[in-house]
Amino acid sequence: MMKRLLVFLLPLLSLIACQEAINPDGCEELVRSNRKYDNAQSDDFQLVEASIEDDCLKITVRYGGGCGEVDFDLIAQEGETLSLPPQVQMRLVLDDDDNCEALLTDELFFDVSSLKSGVGTGVHMLTLEGLTDMIEYRY
């Protein structure tokens, strides 16, 4: 009985230990480049949800891994639409050098304050590839 319990708990504990925020103390830089946006290659991952927290875009992702290095980049097109409010196209890209297969869930944080235009308040609609709904960024 104890052996069965151990066989069940050990993989569960290893999954829980691997779930942590990649950058809980701050936001990663948003890359604005049409060339990088158009040419970005990504390893497989699942976009779970995204929301704005202050000037950070918080993105929850799931991917296979657990024993190697991974790197997520948020790439936005340089321009924005002429619509009101303006829209910015974004793509999250995963570079996964990790061959493990544990299903990991991470929260990523990216600084979107560079999207602010001028002085005062405003709004941008963020279109993140892989999500059906746009994300409203008010500042």
The pTM is what? 0.78
Taking the C-alpha atoms of residue 93 and residue 97, their distance in angstroms, rounded to an integer, is 13
Q: What is the pLDDT of residues 70-115, one digit of tens each?
A: 999 999 999 888 888 999 999 999 999 888 889 999 999 999 999 9
Helix H or strand E segment including 76: strand 70-76
Beta 28-29 vs 102-111: how paired, if at all?
parallel
Taking the C-alpha atoms of residue 90 and residue 21, their distance in angstroms, rounded to an integer, is 21
CA distances from 102 to 22, 38, 112 (A): 16, 30, 30
Q: What is the pLDDT of residues 51-71, one digit of tens each?
A: 999 999 999 999 998 888 899
The half-sphere exposure of 88 on its side-chain side, counting CA atoms within 13 A, is 27
How much is the pLDDT for 116? 87
